[in-house]
């Protein structure tokens, strides 16, 4: 049993919802990432989603695009992201880490070399935004051979037949994108999310986690009432764009405060 399955199973057994936090590796500086990962776990994060910097992150809105640019200004590479996971694992062997990115850097490294390096480093899952499961054969095989779960996205516009196939291909969890458009766009329609999640649960026994549009405790609580957990990304990344608050609080402390707020809202869902 992999870390993702172990952690989500433990949460389910006690009625808790999963909190997944997304940050771009190397934003705002490579030295910030690993300490921030530890701080987020201490604040209540269950799974860390680590964005791999890329020059053309087409699924991202302006906030996360800017984070990719800040990381790339420090020339952060895929190998450096894997090295960050290695460093994180020297102190934390229990929190799952999922890499989220685009196919190009992985192709350049090579499917086998990447999968072996990621698995050895302690990476638990991979979300490749621009690689549909129908085209993921070779990479998916290499990931499985090295204990890395292949995680796929389901969108509001995904047809029912294809949603079923995506759920069947996914490992670890199914990621439901709650909004049409890029990260950080629009506002949540909780009734639409509820209807879609209910349908998707007929297709899989995996946890269904919802991302895009989760901005605070209130929105997280609404989504968690129908899903197995939430993914928070733009709301966290935007704090690094804004910098220190008017009262002098660092972005890192603002991130942990936001996570604590969302954790509290999720825990209020416990029956």
CATH at residue 83: 3.20.20.70
In this structure, what token pair is assigned to residue 13? Answer: 């057994």
Q: Which stretch of DSSP H or E encloses residue 36? A: helix 30-43
Distances (CA, A) of 194 to 65, 153, 211, 215: 29, 17, 13, 18
In this structure, what token pair is assigned to residue 6? Answer: 């172990």
Which residues touch 19 (CB under 8 Å, ≥6 apart)? 44, 45, 46, 47, 220, 229, 230, 232, 259, 262, 263, 266
One digit per residue, the tens of pLDDT, for the chain of length 271 reads 799 999 999 999 999 999 999 999 999 999 999 999 999 999 999 999 999 999 998 888 899 999 999 999 999 999 999 999 999 999 999 999 999 999 999 999 999 999 999 999 999 999 999 999 999 999 999 999 999 999 999 998 999 999 999 999 999 999 999 875 444 445 667 888 888 999 999 999 999 999 988 899 998 998 998 899 999 999 999 999 888 777 878 999 999 999 999 999 999 877 5
**What is the span of the domain harbouring residue 114?**
3-266
Cβ atoms of 175 and 192 within 8 Å: the answer is no
168 in a domain, yes or no? yes
Of 169, 124, 167, 172, whose CA–CA distance to 5 is shortest? 172
Cβ atoms of 203 and 163 within 8 Å: the answer is yes
| Confidence at residue 247, expressed as pLDDT on a 0 to 100 scale | 81
Cα 222 from Cα 60, distance rounded (Å): 23
Question: What's the chain's Rg over C-alpha atoms?
Answer: 17
- How many domains is the chain built from? 1
pTM of the prediction? 0.94
| Confidence at residue 184, expressed as pLDDT on a 0 to 100 scale | 44
30 in a domain, yes or no? yes
124 in a domain, yes or no? yes
Cβ atoms of 20 and 41 within 8 Å: the answer is no
271 in a domain, yes or no? no
Q: Peptide bond preceding 19: is omega within 30 degrees of 0, i.e. cis?
A: no
Cβ atoms of 251 and 242 within 8 Å: the answer is yes
Cβ atoms of 21 and 46 within 8 Å: the answer is no
């Amino acid at each position: 049993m992999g870390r993702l399955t172990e952690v989500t199973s433990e949460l389910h057994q006690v009625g808790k919802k999963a909190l997944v936090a997304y940050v771009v590796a190397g934003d705002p500086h490579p030295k910030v990432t690993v300490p921030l990962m530890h701080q987020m776990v201490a604040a209540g994060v269950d799974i860390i989603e680590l964005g791999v910097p890329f020059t053309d992150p087409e699924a991202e809105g302006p906030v996360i695009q800017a984070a990719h640019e800040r990381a790339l200004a420090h020339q952060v590479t895929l190998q450096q992201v894997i090295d960050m996971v290695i460093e994180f694992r020297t102190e934390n062997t229990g929190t799952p880490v999922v890499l989220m990115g685009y196919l190009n850097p992985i192709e350049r490294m090579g499917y086998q070399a990447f999968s072996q390096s990621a698995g050895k480093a302690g990476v638990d899952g991979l979300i490749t935004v621009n690689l549909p499961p129908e085209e993921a054969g070779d990479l998916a095989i290499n990931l499985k051979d090295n204990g890395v779960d292949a995680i796929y996205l389901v969108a509001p516009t995904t047809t029912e037949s294809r949603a079923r196939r995506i759920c069947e291909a996914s490992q670890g969890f199914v990621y439901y994108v709650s909004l049409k458009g890029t990260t950080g766009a629009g506002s949540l329609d909780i009734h639409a999310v509820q209807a879609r999640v209910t349908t998707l649960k007929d297709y899989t026994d995996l946890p269904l986690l919802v991302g895009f549009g989760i901005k605070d405790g209130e929105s997280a609580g609404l989504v968690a009432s129908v899903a197995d957990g939430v993914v928070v990304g733009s709301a966290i990344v935007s704090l690094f764009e804004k910098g220190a608050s008017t009262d002098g609080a660092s972005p890192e402390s603002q991130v942990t405060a936001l996570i604590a707020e969302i954790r509290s809202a999720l825990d209020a869902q416990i029956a």
